[in-house]
Structure 1
């Protein structure tokens, strides 16, 4: 009886346990099929499908002749998947010693110690991707893959390199560690150069090995476009070499050169000194990486004078042979208490010689005749005070005060190249007007773009010559160019006279402003702008050297004119430009007309011009 009762209890208990177990299993099935279904599907997809980014290759940058200035080398990186590594070693019942041994084998191939790798796995045990090495070549990456360590993999990456080193560094700029453009063209055209990354989502087995991919799970990357520049690498090197030599010789603070084709606006060279290597941006201070050809305006001194005389000729305010009563080395303008002085004692000069000899007194007299409004209008014709629109970042508009801000003393100041500020690119652009018949070009450094297969996707996207404004009538522009041919022959730039080509140009020597402290009597900006050949200009060059040491020389004709001469001669020789015919200039203007100077007629002409 007792045994029967015990058997019944046991049977009941067993059935109860079986019933509870069966109910639990049914509940689990229901839960898996309903509540947890989507969660489990997503978890399975994460294990079987993992999206992997396919990097786009950054486009290259070439000069106008196809010489590579910036490119990308395909390398490899190494990553750890700490979570997968720990899970795998635990599931395989392998010890930590086994993992340490695997990490030691890996550390022998990359620049990381085994202890560092072990710390990464321990401290970032939930991470799925930790980069532990980069810039491995194909051989090194294959060696890592042959280790066959679970949770260790390689991935492709691109490294930017500059095969010509520091050449055109301020134009190119550079990229950061993550491959993003930080300065120059690399920053300006970052989206065009970067392209667009793709992705793929391969199905993987339990050991994370790809076993298949569908078409909809693969989007190929769109590689970046290539830029073709207007720069000529050979002319760029010429400019950089000559600028560096001059700045070192005269112990200058810094310097800039711009070389342009006056008929197209193409910038053939744009150089700053000191320079830097874009391969290692962090090795140079930010000030050294400034593209001062665009960012740092300065007072141009006497290089402003052709931009005043040209419009004056066009408006009929003066003529090349008009003689002005220069009263020796000093002149007191009614607009300024401090006397205006010339370097030399000239006496009466024609307008021609005022420009050739760079007479401050003569220019002040012309400025007085023009008045504030027409002085302002003259400089506005050449785009001063406004950005040129060059396709580089960071351009400064310079300074040309609005007319209401002008004072009477502005007339003698502006006439000598003070109280107005220009950048080297503005100066070069303005001088192109005298080389192309009076048109104000728009400078550019990008000629076009190619896709990754070499097909043209953008070409000559800037303004056409028909859209360029006529800053000056062609007759006046040609007159000024002819006058400026005399500057290297009988004027202030005899060190820019060439045996082979006729050069036209203008020197400038300006005191450096120290802000509220006034002008530094020992600090100078030495400059020269020129073009050649005068009979059919192929190039314009602007050379600016800041604060050369005074005891070594500081005049624009001493410091900058010889630099321009060497750049012009080397460039025209490289371009195989034929030598110029003999230059024919009139005799010194004053010698033939001095005895006929009529002071009363001069005063009447000046009075009429002011009206």
Structure 2
């Protein structure tokens, strides 16, 4: 009986202890749910889920090549290494950073700093654009807190082709960086990243995406330029040849469709590769065709002559006495024709043989106020509004700063500074029927589904001369090539027109001795101009410096290749092909 009582008492004690344990567990469960449930639930969720960035694809930049488009800036996927700091064990962090540093080529302390600065983040980038071998090595570490995903990397498959127009993208978070189309259209080209949540296994490998929590990426828009690849290649080849042969500091050029204002080629030499832009000098990254103004010299003569004809001040057959080569003016100094002793010349021949004295006298007939109006109406000293960054307005001084020295000199291209873009657009207005057009580089913008969302349109800024005077001016400029200073630009199969220019380079104390900018601007064919091309060569040191020598032959090469590319029928009269 006594033994049975003891046994019953033991059973009761065990039962009471069991009840107390269950009660304690219940209380603990209550406290966990009440006080720490949210924290523990969040911890469980973070251990079971992974946030994966789904990067959108940046838009591309394309140029024309026949009936198709050629990519000159595109994005391809490249591996990226990241870490999830919330899963990185603190006592193993140094060892993790040491291993990753050896693979990624970075210092361990640098990686540790990146991780510890953002302890609450789930996605800290350690290295971008790593190689395939590096990606495999990172994965082989089999670390729960480290992963590899892919991002889009910018590539330039055409290398230096069209580099100063395309430019390069701005550096993230760095002000005043980027250039060209990449900068102007950065917002359109940019993609919006998506995000995906995924369930993970014990070692943090994604196993099942949570589609209801996914945000899809948005790809960037694509930009299609008016640039024609074969014409661009011809222009770049010509500029490089001119710089090399004449040991020039630089050269730039533009080819434009004078009827529409579309820029079909634009380049500078020396240039750079956008894929490695940081190793290039700032000068070589500069689009000199729109950012570097210079005195145009004699290429400006047709602008002022045509405007004087339009105003009825002269005609192209008006005869002007050119003082046998030297013209001394009261309170205006001396103007010469650089060794040429011209007597009476028509205005036409004054342009054909590039007489400074002829243009000086036209300036005196015209007067400063009207000369100023001519310069500004043709777009000199004003930004054109081209869709590229960094355009310079050039220099046309305010009228009250002009004096009696300005009157004879502005008409032959002194005392004003223009960019190549301003010159080529003004010249296009001379030969396209008299309309100054806004230049355009971008043809259209396409969304990620290749649908046109924006299309460029021809824009007339103003009419500067009549169609009749424009036709007369083309005839005069054709004579420049046939029998004047532009003979080096004469083609065998097509008619052409143009004007030479040789300008002194201004310095801090007047013009620099022996420093010139040699230019030629011309187009083809004479009847219906398809293209106009300008090439300017800055400070040539060898084999001449006149525009007729350092620029005209290269413009001819570009025009010939453009005529072939655009399938322009030869229009030179039969029997003149071989005559020089």
TM range (shorter): 0.7 to 0.9
What do the CA deviations read for 1:224-245 (whole angstroms, capped 9, x no partner)? 1111110011111100111110
Of residues 282, 289, 297, the one that matches 1:286 is: 282
Partner in structure 1 of residue 570 of structure 2: 579
Change (3 A) 1:43 1:377: same
Shift of the 332–584 alpha-carbon distance from structure 1 to 2, 3 Å rule, reads farther
Aligned position for 1:519: 511
Aligned pairs for 1:7-156 (under 5 A) are 32-34=32-34, 36-65=36-65, 66-81=69-84, 84-86=87-89, 110-112=103-105, 116=107, 120=111, 124=115, 127=119, 129-136=123-130, 141=135, 144-145=138-139, 148-156=142-150
Please identify, of 74-83 and 327-336, the stretch whose mean Cα deviation from structure 2 is larger.
74-83
- 1:111-136 deviations in Å (ceiling 9; x for gaps): 438xx559845995675555444434
Is this contact kept in 1: 2:171–2:178, CA < 8 A? no
After superposition, residues 104-503 of structure 1 pair within 5 angstroms as 110-112=103-105, 116=107, 120=111, 124=115, 127=119, 129-136=123-130, 141=135, 144-145=138-139, 148-175=142-169, 182-204=178-200, 207-210=203-206, 212-460=208-456, 462=457, 464-465=458-459, 467-503=460-496
Using the TM superposition, give the Cα deviation of residue 320 of structure 1 relative to its aligned residue in structure 2, in angstroms: 1.2
Shift of 1:86: 2.3
**Aligned residues of 1:313 and 1:319 also touching (Cα < 8 A):** yes
**Structure 1: distance between partners of 2:295 and 2:44:** 70
SS of 2:421's partner is helix
Question: Aligned to 1:270, what secondary structure does the other structure show?
Answer: strand
Are 2:536 and 1:566 equivalent residues in the alignment? no
- C-alpha separation between the residues in 2 aligned to 1:123 and 1:496? 61
Q: Report if the CA contact (8 A) 1:74-1:159 is conserved.
A: yes
1:347-387 deviation per Cα after TM superposition (whole angstroms, max 9, x unaligned)? 01111111111111110100000001111111122111111
Question: What is the CA-CA distance between 1:50 and the residue it aligns to?
Answer: 4.7
**Conservation of the 8 A alpha-carbon contact between 2:76 and 2:153:** yes
Any idea what SS the aligned residue of 1:448 has? strand
Q: CA–CA distance in 2 between the matches of 1:277 and 1:245?
A: 18
Would you say the 8 A contact 1:335–1:411 is kept in 2? no
| 1:273 Cα deviation after fit | 0.7
1:103/1:520 Cα in 2 relative to 1: closer, same or farther (>3 Å)? Answer: closer
Deviations 1:553-603 (A, max 9, x none): 011111111111111112212222111133999xxxxxxxxxxxxxxxxxx
Q: Quickly say closer, same or farther: Cα 1:38–1:405, change in 2 above 3 A.
A: farther
Asked whether the 8 Å contact 1:333–1:412 carries over to 2, the reply is: no
Structure 2 partner of 1:608? none
| Alpha-carbon distance change, 335 to 129 in structure 1, aligned in 2, over 3 angstroms | same
- Structure 1 residue 418: Cα displacement: 1.1
Segments of structure 1 that go 5 or more residues without pairing to the other structure are 1-16, 91-95, 586-611
Deviations 1:417-454 (A, max 9, x none): 11111100111111111231111111111111222222
- The counterpart of 2:524, out of the listed 525, 528, 532, is 532
1-side partners of 2:372 and 2:277: how far apart?
A: 41
Q: Which is richer in strand?
A: 2
Return the alpha-carbon distance in structure 2 between the equivalents of residues 453 and 179 of structure 1. 29
Question: Cα distance, 1:51 vs. partner?
Answer: 3.7
Q: 1:409 offset after TM fit, Å?
A: 1.5
In the alignment, the residues of structure 2 paired with residue 355 and residue 583 of structure 1 have an alpha-carbon distance, to the nearest angstrom, of 27
Task: Flag the 1:381–1:107 CA change in 2: closer, same or farther, 3 A.
Answer: closer
Higher mean C-alpha displacement, 37-46 vs 332-341: 37-46
Q: CA deviation at 1:481?
A: 0.9
Between 1:224-233 and 1:208-217, the stretch displaced more is: 208-217
Please give the alpha-carbon distance, in whole angstroms, between the structure 2 residues aligned to 1:70 and 1:504: 35
CA 226–124 in structure 1, closer or farther in 2 if over 3 Å, else same: closer
Whether contact under 8 Å (2:492, 2:572) holds in the other structure is: no
Does the aligned pair in 2 maintain the 1:447–1:459 contact within 8 Å? yes
Could you tell me whether the CA contact under 8 Å between 1:174 and 1:278 is conserved in 2?
Answer: yes
Q: How many Å separate the matches in 1 of 2:92 and 2:143?
A: 10
Aligned pair in 2 of structure 1 residues 121, 302: CA closer, same or farther (>3 Å)?
A: closer
Q: Cα–Cα, structure 1 residues 519 and 34, in superposed 2: closer, same or farther, change >3 Å? A: same
Unaligned stretches of 5+ in structure 2?
Answer: 1-16
- Report if the CA contact (8 A) 1:160-1:179 is conserved: no
Q: Confirm or deny: 8 A CA contact 2:326 2:334 kept in the other structure.
A: no
Alpha-carbon offset, residue 54 of structure 1: 1.8
Deviations 1:438-477, CA, capped at 9 Å, x for gaps: 11111111111222222222222x4x35x44222111111
C-alpha distance in 1 between matches for 2:249 and 2:84: 52
Q: Distance in 2 between matches of 1:85 and 1:177?
A: 30
TM-score, normalising length: structure 2: 0.87
The range that moved more, 50-59 or 473-482, is 50-59
1:333–1:340 contact (8 Å) kept in structure 2: no
Distance 1:77 1:357, change over 3 A: same
Change (3 A) 1:530 1:179: farther
Contact 1:335 1:412 in 2 (8 A): no
For 1:141 and 1:292, the matched residues in 2 are separated by 41
User: By how many angstroms is 1:83 displaced?
Assistant: 5.3
- Give the Å deviation of 1:43: 4.5
**Which digits, 9 at most, give the CA deviation of each residue in 1:179-222, with x for residues without a partner?**
99811111111111112111123344554344544444111100
Work out whether residues 59 and 448 of structure 2, in 8 Å CA contact, stay in contact via their aligned partners in 1. Answer: yes
Distance in 2, matches of 1:88 and 1:45, equals 23
In the aligned structure 1, how far is the partner of 2:355 from the partner of 2:446? Answer: 51
